Structure formats: structure tokens, C-alpha cells
Amino acid sequence: MRQVVHTLNEGEVVAGVTSLAGEIYVLRRKERYQVEVYDVITYRLQRCLNVPNARRFVDMTSCEHYCCIYISDRIAECRPIHRLDAQGAATQWPVNDEPWGLSVNLQHNLLVTCIEAGEIKEFTTDGHIVRTVELPGDVIHPCHTVQTRSGQFIVCHGSHQRDDAVHRVCMISADGRHIVHSHHGGQPGSDTDDYDGSVHLAVDNDEFVFVVDVYNRRVMLLSPTLHYVGQVVSTDQLKWWPLRMYLDTQKRFLYVADNQRMLIDNEYVAGRVVVFSV
């Protein structure tokens, strides 16, 4: 198991975590000043940023090239993407599908995984759509997508809340038509080849894949061809349930959003960020 380096203070639910220009950005589900910015060395809070007209955050990612962060919003009108620069200046554009996981590819474009439509939408940094990639029909309720250097897509899918029969991680061809590799593809479970809510991904410089397995309360590691390697973060190292993560490939730090969930109504009520050395 990996060593815990630091734990940020508990507070509102953490809907996303990333870094930009030597600072850590933490997205909280609250009324105002939802983005907390911390120093990457001291972990001290530097400032807070507000996201105008926000309703229900799902994920956050960053782009060093354009020095900005992106936030997906699944309830606000037109289900927008919010874009904030490092000073907090905000713009937004509509997705017109339910946006879920976010990532940035090598072309510095934003990939938005649309959970209900089963599509990946690629946008420029100013919100112009580049293309829509329709995923294979058996990739149901995709949560997050990361694009590899070769142009293929790593996708995790299967929703615990929607009682999906298949929970897995798969590699999909660059045109979105074919599944090239997959890791498991059956009912939710807790064995090493099983998932119960694979909701978020990260890929390191050698294209090993990190997978948040939320209801098994762990982070898994897969090879570039999606074979099981091991468990990076275990249940014992988490207080609650992991929802999102960010991998700093330079420092080899993994930031995991660890959130408290109420078993009665399945709502998340509090959260923190745990930093692991990987």
C-alpha cells in the first residue's frame, strides 16, 4: 500500500481535485467560494474562487497549457462546463447532455464524458465542439474517459445507482467503435477482477491506469493493457468513500477525494482530500 503524505481538512463534499501552476485545487459542493486553492508544498489555503450560476458539481480537471480549470455541472441550465482561470475569471458553455467525468488530452482539448448519452464530447478551451465520439452500445453509463498517447480511450462504466449489470474498465479505439481491451465485464463484486462503481481514472507517464472503485472503497492499478497489477489505496487507508482523484505524474502524488456517505439515502455529506505517495 502507498504512504499517506497529508490529509486536507474535512469540510463540504469534495467533487473534484486537481493541480495547476504549483497549487492544489479542491472543488467543494457548497453555496459560494466552491474552489479552494492550496499551496502544493505547505498545504495551506491560499484563496477561494466562486463559480457563478453553479448547481451540482460532478468533476473538475485542469489544463496547464491554457492555465485554467474546468468543472462539470449536471443540473444547471444546459448542463454546462464552467471554465475558471487562475485568477477566478469564469465563463461557461452548454454541453446539452449530462456531463460527468472530465479530462484534457494531448491537444489541450477538454473531453467530457456524457453518462446518459454514452458519448464523449471534445471541446476547445473556449467551448467550441471538436467532435462527438459515440461509444459502443455495451458501454453503459460511462463515468470518465482518459485519452492515451496513441489516441485510444480508457473508459470506466457501470452505475451502482442505476443497477447496471456490467461494471468494468475498457480501452476503446480512437474512433470509438471497438473495444480493444477490457478489465472485467460482469456483475459488481469485490474480488481483484471486480468493480462496484468504477467512477474515475488517472493514467501515469507509462500508461498504467489508476481506477477509483468507490463502493469497494479502494483505488486499483492496471497495466497499459488493463491487466490487474495491484491495489494502490486500500479500504484501511480511507475513512469514507473515494469519489475522485488526481495523479501528479511529476511528484508521484495521488490526491483522493474521500467523502462521507449516508447509507439511508446514499447522499454525500462531507469530504476531505487524502494525499498518497505513489
Q: Per the confidence metrics, is the pTM higher than 0.85?
A: yes
- CA 213 from chain center: how many Å? 12
> Per-residue confidence at 193, pLDDT binned at 50, 70, 90?
confident
CATH number at residue 163: 2.120.10.30
pLDDT of residue 74: 87
Residue 212 has pLDDT above 70, yes or no: yes
pLDDT, tens digit, for every residue of 228-278?
A: 999 999 999 999 999 999 999 999 999 999 999 887 767 888 999 999 999
Quote the CA–CA distance of 60 and 206 in Å, as a whole number: 23
Residue 148 has pLDDT above 90, yes or no: yes
**4 SS3 class:** strand
Structural domain including 178 reads 3-277
pLDDT of residue 91: 95
28-36 mean pLDDT: 91
**216 SS3 class:** helix
Q: Do 29 and 267 meet the contact criterion of CB atoms below 8 Å apart?
A: no
Residue 225 has pLDDT above 70, yes or no: yes
Q: Name the domain count of the chain.
A: 1
Quote the CA–CA distance of 182 and 171 in Å, as a whole number: 6
Kind of pairing, strands 45-49 and 35-39? Answer: antiparallel
What residues have CB less than 8 Å from 250, skipping those under 6 apart?
A: none
